[in-house]
Amino acid sequence: MMIQTMLQTAAIGLLFVGFCADAAEPTPLINPAKHVNAPEAQQLLADKKIWVLDIRTPEEYKSGHLAGATNVNFMAVDFEHNLAKLDKKQAFLVYCASGNRSTRALPVLKKLEFQTIYHLDGGFNAWEKAGLPVKK
């Protein structure tokens, strides 16, 4: 009787462990963004293998932006639709004014399966504070 109880307990334990092992497998993150500061972003741009995505309003963009930046307004109702038009296989550096909107945009970029995303921490403000060139 004792052996039977021990076998039943062991079987239940193995089932539980097997169930938990399957349930505990992490879901892989799709294209996690790499966070960079302004000097690191400048180096990425110097390598010229990256597209620049400014997600500020058109008015903010016109007042100054990173050279070669494409403006896709985060506040626009068709933001996701406009992002979907971009080449997802390209590497992108994404920024806004302070990093708040661009951080909120990262899940959208991931959802759309962009391959390589760099996030400019501190946004355009950090870029200017570092004394880096601005296109007007």
Annotated catalytic sites, by residue? 96
- Name the residue among 63, 65, 34 with its Cα closest to residue 52: 65
- From residue 41, how far is each of 34, 56, 80, 97 by CA, in Å? 11, 17, 24, 15
| Both tokens assigned to 53 | 């995505």
State how beta strands 51-54 and 91-95 pair: parallel
